Amino acid sequence: MKEILRYNVRILRPHEYKQILSGCSKPDMRTMLQALLYTGMRYIEMKRFQQYPSWFDGNGFIHLPREAVHKQKRTQMERFVRLNPQGKLIIEYFVQMKRKLPSYQSWSENMKCWARRSGLSENGLGSKTLRKTWESWLMFYYPKRSMDVALSQGHNTVTSLRHYLNMPFTDMDRMEMKEYVEGWINNE
């Protein structure tokens, strides 16, 4: 199946994510990989969150205050990142870890290394991959909740629609996404 690239950033299908995860053998790095996917947070936001774990409320949300996001063109000054039950569990482990996230460059190299180990192409992999993958999955799986997805990700709906809708996901992808995204919205 053809790789999904948007602006030279790889959007993973669920089976590709599983492959990368299988190539990552260190428990702390696996936790980081999962935390980045399940939050969809920007890499720098996750690094700052690691410094301030109290931003996690313990109930399924991470509050990113004004100082968490230094992006110039941001549409929200602060936001609440919604977690599903799996994401909440991973974040509980993540905030307990002593090991810190590596630099952007090291993370991108790690992603490529894990892909090679698992037999997956490293094309387009980097620090933005998991964020873009998560938002794409949520937009595909919960199309009627696009505003909720956009707000959780710190985007406006125009940005979300332009970048994350109309992905060439298949029915099989939808079935495989379920184990990751289920519970993000409880009444769907």
The ranges assigned to domains in the chain are: 10-181
The per-residue pLDDT for 162 is 63
- 153 vs 70: CA distance, rounded Å: 14
What pTM value is reported for the model?
A: 0.93
Token readout for 125 is 């992999």
The per-residue pLDDT for 188 is 47
Token readout for 40 is 């969809």
- 153 vs 165: CA distance, rounded Å: 14
21-72: pLDDT as tens digits? 999 999 999 999 999 999 999 999 999 999 999 999 999 999 999 888 765 5
Q: What fold is seen in the domain 10-181?
A: hpI Integrase; Chain A (1.10.443)
Token readout for 59 is 């109930």
Regions of the chain where pLDDT drops below 50:
188
Q: Can you give the length of the chain in residues?
A: 188
The per-residue pLDDT for 67 is 81
The per-residue pLDDT for 98 is 94
The per-residue pLDDT for 154 is 84
The per-residue pLDDT for 2 is 87
- 89 vs 168: CA distance, rounded Å: 30
The residue whose two tokens read 């609440």 is: 80
Any long-range contacts for 91-96 (C-beta under 8 Å, 24+ apart)? 91/35, 91/38, 91/39, 91/56, 91/62, 92/56, 92/58, 93/31, 93/35, 94/31, 94/32, 94/35, 94/50, 95/50, 95/53, 95/56
